[in-house]
Amino acid sequence: MSSETAAREGPVAAPRHRPARSVRLERILDVVIRSIVPVVLALVAGGVLLLALGRNPLTFYGNIWVGGVQGTAWQDSAIRMAPFLLIAAGLVLIFRANIWNLGYNGQFLLAAAFVAGYAPTLVTEVPLWLAFVTLFLLAGAVGAIWTLVPALLKARFGTNEIITTLMMSFIAIDLASILIKGPYHDATTPLPQTAVIPFEKMLPSIPGTRIHVGLLVAFAAILVVHYVLTRTAWGLRLQVMGANPRAARHFGIDLPRLIVVSFLASGFLVGLAAAADILGLWGYIRTGWNPAYGDTIIPFVFLARLNALAVVPFIAFFSVLSTGGDLAAQEASLPTDFLLVLVGLILLFMTVIEYLGRRRELGASYLPPGLRQALRAPLLRRRKAA
Amino acid sequence: MLKGITKAFPGVLANDHIDLTLRGGEVHCLLGENGAGKSTLIGILSGLIRPDEGTIRIEGVETSIASPRRALELGIGTVHQHSTLIPAFSVLENLMLGDNRRLRLDEDGARRRLEELAGQLGVEIDADAKAVDLALGHQQQVEIVKALWRGSRVLILDEPTSMLTPQGVAELAKVLERLKEHGQAVIFITHKLHEALSLGDEISILRQGRLVGTIAPEVMRATPQEELRAEIIRLMFGEDARAVVDVAELREELAEAEPEGRAREHEHADVVLELRGVSAFGEGSERGIEEVSLDLREGEILGIAGMDGNGQRALAEAIAGQRHATHGDVLLYGAPVTRLAVSARQKLGLRYVTDDRLGEGIVGMLPVGLNLFLKRVGESPYWRHGRIQRAIVDGRATELIREYDVRTPFVSTRVSTLSGGNIQKILLARELSFDPKVVVFHKPTYGLDVKTTAAVRDQILKLAEGGGAALVISTDLDELLEICDRIAVLSRGRLVGVVSSGPGAARQVGELMVGAETVEAA
């Protein structure tokens, strides 16, 4: 209603290409409020909590800096980033399509089991570069194939993928255990684990650092996902499907195929994360090991508003927090689980901010959509100003 | 009764100091284009919206209408434009829904109340019929009873004629007379001038949130119709009156004087689109279609008349390929396309202008420019090797925006911020550019203001003159009579007859609509 009048009185002349600066400013403000404020609030609240526990928050956060950034500590943080970024890339891609692949833990572990199972023999028998390429592709393929059942169910019957991916995830976690105890078991040890990849046959480091090249793969994946989403026809189709599946059908987009392909791509990227982590950091896998990287980074994927590039600083922040946090928690004689409290606080404040943004809409559901839109706008503006 | 009502929404004063007086026993017409502020005013009266300023007095006592419940307590009943009845419930159950004063449902009491109110209105209502089985005119009567249920003094009717046949409108007029006799004050909202003139005792005209004129009952009675009409058009459109007067007048003339129509001869032209016994399932409460056969020739405009929900969407989607046809064939230039997907049919020149503009016509978060190309994603020259060519897309979009007069500040503006009329222009630009051959228009002017409506109809006529063919599905009979060569009537999922445009067409179509319904109901 508002825009109708505005448009009627507005210029008829040829439209220009760039939005007004105020629009861009508004978007930046929106990003600040929705993404950065929860993190800051969480750090402040965490500080208050530390004070209550009789610790000095400044010392604690200072130690995080020391342990996570200073000297060569930043390299440890960077190593942690590799699997995080790859999983984040896979999640951003499929979340943009409004599909919720929550089976990342299973996809990751199963791919990790396959990589750890074949790597020790493969790296000694074929040229190293070929072994790495093969193992990365193998991991990607395992992750992708594991999404196939939920993908086909959703494409064919519209089955809720949240449930199917979670179920498949549990199966994959147990299947990984079976593989580690069975065919991939290292015969030289009674422990339920795979053979260890010889140290010199692990992923090479980036020259001058201890960081393995898996991080470069991760950055490349982030860039590719961002490019695909922002520049390509396929990415546009994906986003149209995510924003409005009915419109996608109206536009003649082949939804079933798009659903399956985006699932496969997401699973593939999660699988790559497993390859990078096993080949670059651990060298073997043991039953019961489940780092649940995906669960850890999901809040940051949302804080980044499903923007692939924006994910990077958040993941970097969290990597520093978790690397330096070990030292800081030790110094303050707190359990390392205190870091989970900080992540929990971030989630809490995210929810609060999301709630404040939507609260006023709840009671308005009986209004016609045009009116609701008109009512919503000033509230959003007021909240931003506050 | 209403004094200085003001309600501001961002960027617009939806109601700017509006004064309105209602008297019992009178029908007060609120007349105005879409976006004039009618809905806001009604929202305020029915307790959905709170005014920023101004006072409401009921029988001299200042009152605030804080909630819909309060409005009901004050005796303000509203009949909304779209049915609020629960389809699976009986009439009586629907009416008792609002009765939450007691724990136990008082069925006998409700029956008596229904009889009493039906008597007042002079209508017969079957208390045990399911709402879904009632014709729309009867559903509306139930809605009126529902609004009067708790003892109403003011009855608000929001665009009550938009879903009715000509016969239904006549029946509604009788009901209004009875209501007036019982001392009800009625607010009658419409954007059709001839209805306001024939049904109203007093007319208030809204334009862009302001009350621009009120024609008092004495004046209404004393002034000849022609003068009143000219005066109202001037008030409604202000400075623009000259530009739209032809259109508005044209519509009025057509509605009343039975047009000679544009029925040109197309019998010798090639059949471009043919349906042979097509059936498709409905979705939710919407009806599917059964055994629909029709043909559309080059240069022809074929109208599909009928009440909403009689299978219109199933028909449109079965042609466009969005819905699977369970039986029958869709043929384009004699070749079956029944098995082709939506995009393949688009490439053959078959286009579909959807009625659900916001729901499936656009992607709100994407910019105007991209929305114009959402049916050609990945096609050259706009995409090359899968990569978008921004400059080409934006350049062509700018041309289309100018050509179709889309009022948008920028190519990059999000579509969701535009008005309904501009969104419809975007849909038209998308479907009618790139060599369209057969275009299905589904309610192409629904909810649009007069100027945009005229522009849309011009586009349809232009398409037909250029050798294209159009299938226009509409619930607005006046519109179909104005632009179509032939009109087919869709009722309960079947085509019940085809009428050539010309004298008497309106009556024939109306009879087909009603006749089909009574036969089915019997």
Taken in order of first residue, the domains within chain B and their CATH numbers are 2-257 (3.40.50.300), 271-349+435-521 (3.40.50.300)
Average pLDDT over residues B41-68: 80
What is the tens place of the pLDDT at every residue in B228-275? 877 877 777 665 555 554 554 444 444 444 444 454 566 677 889 999
Asked whether residue A105 is assigned to any structural domain, the reply reads yes
Please give the distance of CA A128 from its chain centroid, rounded to a whole number: 29
**Three-class SS of residue B351?**
strand
Query: Which of B50, B354, B357, B374 best tests the A interface by mutation, with the highest count of A CBs <10 A?
Result: B374
Q: Give B34's pLDDT tier (boundaries 50, 70, 90).
A: low
Q: A369 lies in a domain?
A: no
Burial, A347: exposed, middle or buried (Cβ in 10 Å; 0-12, 13-18, 19+)?
middle
B240 touches chain A (CB under 8 A): no
Quickly tell me which residue has 């009788």 as its tokens.
Answer: B174
Which chain A residues have a beta carbon less than 8 Å from that of B40?
1, 371
Q: What total number of domains does chain A contain? A: 1
Task: Tell me the percentage of chain B whose pLDDT exceeds 70.
Answer: 87
Average pLDDT score over chain B: 81
Closest alpha carbon to B92 in B79, B106, B81: B106
Domain presence at residue A382? no
Instruction: Calculate the CA B240 to chain-centre distance.
Output: 24
Dihedral angle computed from the Cα positions of residues B205, B208, B212 and B214, in that order, rounded to the nearest 10 degrees = 20
Domain limits at A134?
A: 79-289
Question: Interface pTM (ipTM) of the complex?
Answer: 0.74
pLDDT recorded at residue B102:
65
CB pairs under 8 A between A and B: 162
Residue A89 falls within a domain, yes or no? yes
With cut-offs at 50, 70 and 90, classify the pLDDT of residue B128: confident
Using alpha carbons, list the distances in angstroms from residue B139 to B90, B116, B417. 11, 18, 34
CB pair distance less than 8 Å for B366 and A239: yes
A215 domain residue, yes or no = yes
Residue B288 has pLDDT above 80, yes or no: yes
Mean per-residue pLDDT, B294-300? 91
Q: Rounded to whole angstroms, how far apart are CA atoms B407 and B419? A: 9
Radius of gyration of chain B (CA): 24
Burial of B166 (0-12, 13-18, 19+ CB in 10 A): middle
Determine contact, residues B40/B15, Cβ cutoff 8 Å: yes
Does residue A221 lie within any of the structural domains? yes
pLDDT for B14: 64
B77-115: pLDDT as tens digits: 888 877 778 878 888 888 888 666 666 677 888 888 888
| A21, A23, A244, A251, best to mutate vs chain B, most B CBs in 10 Å | A251
Residue A378 lies in a domain: no
N residues, chain B: 522
Residue B330 has a pLDDT of: 93
SS3 A193: strand
Residue at A353 is within a domain: no
The pLDDT averaged over each successive group of 10 residues in chain A (386 residues) is 38 46 69 80 92 90 90 91 96 94 96 95 92 96 97 94 95 96 90 92 90 95 96 93 91 94 97 96 92 90 88 92 88 85 86 69 39 52 48
Q: What is the pLDDT of residue B255?
A: 44
Q: What is the pLDDT of residues B418-472, one digit of tens each?
A: 877 889 999 999 999 888 999 999 999 887 777 788 889 999 999 998 888 999 9
List, in order, residues 6 or more apart from A305 with CB less than 8 Å away: A31, A34, A35
Question: Which residues in A258-281 are b (16+ Cβ under 10 Å) and which e?
Answer: bbbbbbbbbbbbbbbbbbbbbbbe
φ/ψ (deg, to 5) at B496: -100, 0
| All residues at 6 or more sequence positions from B246 whose CB lies less than 8 Å from its CB, including other chains | none
Distance from CA of A267 to the nearest CA of B (A): 22
Contacts of A18 in chain B (CB under 8 A): 410, 412
CB contact under 8 A, A252 and B375: yes
For B415-469, the DSSP string reads GGGS-HHHHHHHHHHHHHSS--SEEEEESTTTT--HHHHHHHHHHHHHHHHTT-E
SS3 B503: coil
Contacts of A22 (CB under 8 A, 6+ apart): none
Q: What is the pLDDT of residue B342?
A: 92
Is the pLDDT score of B149 beyond 90?
Answer: no
Q: Are B289 and B315 in contact (CB under 8 A)?
A: yes
Is the predicted pLDDT of residue B488 greater than 90, yes or no? yes
Whole-number pLDDT of residue B275: 93
* Rounded Cα–Cα distance for residues A77 and A68 (Å): 6
Helix, strand, or coil (residue B189) = strand
**For B206-239, how does the pLDDT look when each residue is reduced to its tens digit (9 = 90+)?**
877 778 888 888 887 787 877 887 787 777 766 5
Among B158, B413, B452, most A C-beta atoms within 10 A, so best to mutate, is: B413
Higher pLDDT, B434 or B27: B27
pLDDT per residue as tens digits for the range B151-185: 788 888 888 877 677 777 888 888 888 888 888 88
Looking at the complex, report in whole angstroms how far the Cα of residue A241 sits from the nearest Cα belonging to chain B. 9
Of B48, B364, B386, the CB nearest to A234: B386
Gyration radius from chain A CA atoms? 23
